[in-house]
Chain A
Amino acid sequence: MKELNELNFPDDVKYTREHEWAKIEEGNVFVGITDYAQDQLGDIVFVEMPAEGDSFEEGEEFGTLESVKAVSEIYLPVSGEILAINEALEDEPEMVNKDPYEAWIVKVKPADVSEFDNLMDKTAYLKLVESEFDSEPDSEPDSEFE
């Protein structure tokens, strides 16, 4: 597991609370998962992707990532139609671990570009990740049964 200062968060992508990144290129949005997300999941062994032409709402689950630890849902940062999926991930899911920002999962035609603009920038996302690093889960004794 990486330390906070070992994680890579580029400036030129936007971020979600569910740890996806999104990048806009020529009006289309590429979506992947962040360095923090891949590090938390561990070695990814399977990427389940939607079909080209499928449409999803903002925040809707569009696929799953299977790691040696667990299966996790991935959520679409913006509503829109799937223009392409990264077929290379079918044979080499480890690309998501090696270079999470190159290993885009889907390319989306956004229905509403303002949704992209409203995503978190690096500073806001870094705060979120920092808070997850610091978070002490509630450890107050529960008095309910006492």
Chain B
Amino acid sequence: MIPGNQIGPGRSGLIIEEPLLWERGAKGRCGMSIPESDVPQAQIDDSLLGEGPNFPDLSEVDVVRHYTHLSLWNFGVDTGMYPLGSCTMKYNPKINEQIAAMPAFTEAHPMLPDELCQGTLRLIYEMQQALCVISGLDAATLQPAAGAQGELTGMFLFAAYHKSKGKKRSKILMPDTAHGTNPASAALCGFKPVKIAVNEKGRLNADEVRELMDDDTAGIMITNPNTLGLFESNIREIADIVHEKGGLVYGDGANMNAMMGIINMKKCGVDVMHWNVHKTLSTPHGGGGPGAGPVCVVKELEKFLPSPHITFDGKMYHRKTDLPDSLGRVHSFHGNFGVLIKAYSYVLSMGEEYLRRASELAVLNANYIKEKLRGYYFLPQDAVCMHEVVFSDKLQEEYKVSTLDIAKRLMDCGYHPPTIYFPLIVHGAIMIEPTETECLEDLDEFIEVMRAIAEEAKTDPDLLHNSPQRYKVRRLDETYAARNPCLTGGQ
């Protein structure tokens, strides 16, 4: 029996132990019948020979039980509420999987000539159009394999644009509320990130941008809403300042779930943005195959987009490769097409009205949690938030209870913890993003649990220090794991 009140939906169940696959298998077991080889023997180059990897010998049922057991220890959006801030862990509708599994898609070879894969090309074309409509921008590519590669593609576009203007620029402005990958993407493209601190309201100051923006600065990378969950209300003024100095504005689309159908990125002055389809457009966060990070741009940058461009002449869809200004390919074939089908399925299922409704509810839900937890947890920026809200452990400090303890206790109560210790500029941050797919009853239950934990922090802090207790493992030694990582099996 675990001390403390029984709060939230979390309960203990039977935990099934599961060894590593190497400990499970036995020599000679096999999960499939392989036909006799009818390929004649041939000499192989010595350099290609050697000891193969140590794969365990397993039967089919070994493998199925192994992964089923592991999945029982797991927690996903299909298990319960997953309010991981900055990650938009919305429910992934199953129709997306159904559509993506259609043989017409799965069996279309990516090297089919245009006339034999019109459906594939049409989907890409229409998805590009849809992303342009939602963002307000003019042209798109679906090639990048993930948000970070979308950012990198965006930075290549910045570089190509400045090169076409005859001057290479070396720096890029980076608010400290930017997503962590932004400075990395810019640096990988050869730009030196110049940090801008946000003001006491958690937002960018136009004057600060004016001071730092010069003719050696390629532009600015802005995440809007920013990682404090706040809308950059000076965005248009900032974009004008950057444009006046010949720079470009990159809009990190990571937080688009707050904006669909409400904010026009082009009118905000954004020249390039990427989409995280696994956040905003309800595709799986890993585990469901590779991701995608489509990029939208203004008309002026269209010619630089990766090749091929998918075009439509009124009758047929084509892959256009004769593009002298294009960056070239950033991914083979159609990009990670399978996940783009799922995103397209979501966009069509929702339509304009319900995409806007999704964003409205995402913002409403975050603000509802903010108001209901006010006074229970400290609000570093007490402002109307967007789709996520940042609290901190400041009110729990006097009981020696930290953000980590609160997060671990939430696990026992049946929730995935929120994002913790991010954004870095908030000490002990607890970043909650409920998304639009939680109903009012579930939000209320989560709020009740968070309030109860705040009370437990006062009355029984050790309960929090000793959480979690209902999982297969207790509090892990993260420091030991980071200092002594064990990255191999079967040794």
Contacts and interface: CB of A to CB of B under 8 A. Distances in A.
B186 to A, nearest CB: 15
Interface stretch (A16-24, A78-86, A99-107, A134-142): A134-142
B483 A45 contact: yes
A139 B380 contact: yes
B421 A142 contact: no
Contact of B381 (A43, A72, A137, A145): A137
Given A1-B397, A69-B421, A70-B421, A141 B383 contact: yes
Q: Secondary structure at chain A's binding surface: helix, strand, loop or mixed?
A: loop
B201 interface: yes
A7 to B, nearest CB: 15
A146 B422 CA distance: 27
Interface residues of A, number: 21
Given A1-B397, A138-B200, A142-B201, A43 B382 contact: no
Interface in A109-127: none
Nearest to B479: A43
Given A1-B402, A43-B479, A138 B201 contact: yes
Contacts of B382: 139-142
Contact of B379 (A1, A45, A46, A139): A139
Contacts of B424: 70, 72
A82 to B, nearest CB: 20
User: What size tier do the contact residues of chain B reach?
Assistant: 20 to 34
A139 B370 CA distance: 13
A145 B421 CA distance: 27
Contacts of A72: 424
A66 B481 CA distance: 13
Contact of A145 (B383, B402, B482): B383
Given A1-B397, A1-B402, A137 B380 contact: yes
Contacts of A69: 421
A140 B383 CA distance: 8
Contact of A68 (B383, B426, B478): B478
A144 B479 contact: no
A94 interface: yes
Nearest to A146: B384
A68 B379 contact: no
A57 to B, nearest CB: 13
A73 B361 CA distance: 38
A72 B397 CA distance: 23
A66 B483 CA distance: 10
A78 B347 CA distance: 54
A109 B201 CA distance: 41
A139 B421 CA distance: 19
Contacts of B427: 40
A75 to B, nearest CB: 12
A81 to B, nearest CB: 21
A68 B479 contact: yes
A144 B479 CA distance: 42
Interface of A: 1, 40, 43, 45-46, 66, 68-70, 72, 93-94, 137-142, 144-146
7 contacts: A45-B479, A68-B479, A70-B424, A139-B378, A142-B201, A144-B233, A145-B383
